[in-house]
Structure 1
Amino acid sequence: MDRTITRTGTYTPFLIHAALARAPWRLLLLPVALLAMLGYALKLFTRARLKEINQHLLLGSEISRADLEPVTASFADRVMRLNTLPGALRQIEEDRAAGRRLVLATASYRLYVEAIAARLRFDDVIATNSILGLDARVTAKIDGENCYGPAKLRMIEAWFQQQGIDRSKVHVRFYSDHASDAPVMEWADEAFATTPSPKMRALAMKRGWPVVDWTA
């Protein structure tokens, strides 16, 4: 999703949006979040742990679904209004018109991705999940794997099994801007490098994947 359908990333903007909506004082913790990003860059902890830390700082250790819903709804509306790539929207509509099943597989959190996917009229979502606490409260802890890199392919394959889909009997198209998705690109029947990062562009040239520009 991030930089494939959207122009920019969505996770940090979502956390800032949520802090502004629910507890503006949490924005004072942004310098701590920046320090956490530095720690990740120095490989002191994983990308998944970075997500957990920043969610804890800007959204809190847990939140009820009822309190979360208006925040995710307003953020999804903002993404649709200000942060989508025109070419991506056209391709989504083209694939829908062709009768394809649309699945959004993203490292972003399901807690806000589902609202965006609903507006884009995706059929299914595979995303980073949150552990649910008492009374189904959404916590800052990741449930399972961060849906990124090789883990994304594992989660897609697990979804196929859960849905009872025989991989050998379906044709899979996959679109991505980022080289971290190379495992899924190689697994797919058709792979498209969409508005790619420099590393993804170089990999697409090497693998023979079509390169498309969705900015216009």
Structure 2
Amino acid sequence: MTNLALFDLDHTLLPTDSDKEWGRFLVRTGAVDGDAYGRANEAFYQDYRAGRLDMPAYLRFCLAPLAQYPRDQLDAWHANYMKEVIEPAIRPEAVALLDKHRAAGDLCCIVTATNTFVTAPIARALGVEHLVGTRPATAGGHPDGRYTGDYVGTPSFREGKIACTEAWLASLGKTWSDFPHSFFYSDSANDVPLMERVTHPVATNPDETLRDIALARRWPILELFQ
């Protein structure tokens, strides 16, 4: 039977943070105020690492630039971002991990807090069909509409990752019980709720807090980018 394989993205499949790097890319292009945006971007990132991120406040911050520019401009910038930042960061170890689960016939999905504008092209570059992420709102709800700076539904963050994953499974006509085994690979203590939900949590390139939790609970630790 098919198993379920879930993967966090930033610092798990990628040795970097795609959301933070997108913000830094916007600073380099001049799309945002360099000093102010750069300081806020770093502060939010440190809050995330410390487990104290105000997610609604962060989403207002990181989605605001999407509302300031038309989609064709954003897409052009994102294509350059992929070439300059993401493609050089895709490591063979991450591809091999994905390939292992794909070869086994597992249903694979990236489950990330980062918004889907940033992450959908990354998932495609990694060859992963399914993506669960925070969804930016568009004018009139049209898929190709201009971004509003708001988000839709539950952010895919902490306990919200469980709700978003279950909604995605339901869209496929599936539930957790359809899978004899479920895996979730993550680097972050913020992902402990979803790690507790699967049958096989794997602390992958774990931060200090998650490493301590994994050791205490005897979860496997995978150093993917040694």
Question: Shorter-chain TM-score category?
Answer: 0.7 to 0.9
Within 2, Cα distance between the matches of 1:35 and 1:117? Answer: 24
Q: Which residue of 2 aligns with 1:113?
A: 119
SS at match of 1:164: coil
Deviation per CA, 1:143-165: give whole Å up to 9, x if none. Answer: 12221111111111111112111
Query: What aligned pairs does 1:44-193 form with structure 2 within 5 A after superposition?
Result: 46-56=54-64, 59-134=65-140, 136-170=145-179, 171-193=181-203
Aligned residues: 212
Structure 2 residue runs of 5 or longer lacking an equivalent are 1-8
Within 2, Cα distance between the matches of 1:91 and 1:45? Answer: 29
Compared with structure 1, are the counterparts of its residues 54 and 33 closer, same or farther at alpha carbon in structure 2 (3 Å cutoff)? Answer: farther
Instruction: Give, in angstroms, the shift of residue 3 of structure 1.
Output: 0.6
Equivalent AA in structure 1 for residue 59 of structure 2: K
Within 1, Cα distance between the matches of 2:95 and 2:53? Answer: 35
TM-score between the two structures when normalised by the length of structure 1: 0.85
Within 2, Cα distance between the matches of 1:143 and 1:183? Answer: 21
1:3 aligns with 2:11: yes
Equivalent AA in structure 1 for residue 34 of structure 2: L
Q: Residues 166 and 175 of structure 2 are in contact (CA less than 8 Å); yes or no, is this contact kept in structure 1? A: no
Q: Residues 12 and 185 of structure 2 are in contact (CA less than 8 Å); yes or no, is this contact kept in structure 1? A: yes
Q: CA RMSD for the aligned pairs?
A: 2.8
Instruction: Give, in angstroms, the shift of residue 80 of structure 1.
Output: 3.7
Equivalent AA in structure 2 for residue 140 of structure 1: G
Q: Which runs of 4+ in 1 moved over 4 A?
A: none
Structure 1 residue runs of 5 or longer lacking an equivalent are none
Deviation per CA, 1:93-148: give whole Å up to 9, x if none. Answer: 22122222220000011001000000001020000111111561122212122211
Q: More relative contact order in 1 or in 2 (CA 8 Å, sep 6+)?
A: 2
Q: Residues 93 and 224 of structure 2 are in contact (CA less than 8 Å); yes or no, is this contact kept in structure 1? A: yes
1:30 aligns with 2:37: yes
Within 2, Cα distance between the matches of 1:128 and 1:33? Answer: 20
Equivalent AA in structure 1 for residue 152 of structure 2: D
Instruction: Give, in angstroms, the shift of residue 17 of structure 1.
Output: 1.5
Q: Point out the more displaced range, 145-154 or 27-36.
A: 27-36
Compared with structure 1, are the counterparts of its residues 60 and 26 closer, same or farther at alpha carbon in structure 2 (3 Å cutoff)? Answer: farther
Compared with structure 1, are the counterparts of its residues 96 and 35 closer, same or farther at alpha carbon in structure 2 (3 Å cutoff)? Answer: closer
Q: Residues 5 and 88 of structure 1 are in contact (CA less than 8 Å); yes or no, is this contact kept in structure 2? A: yes
Within 2, Cα distance between the matches of 1:44 and 1:193? Answer: 20
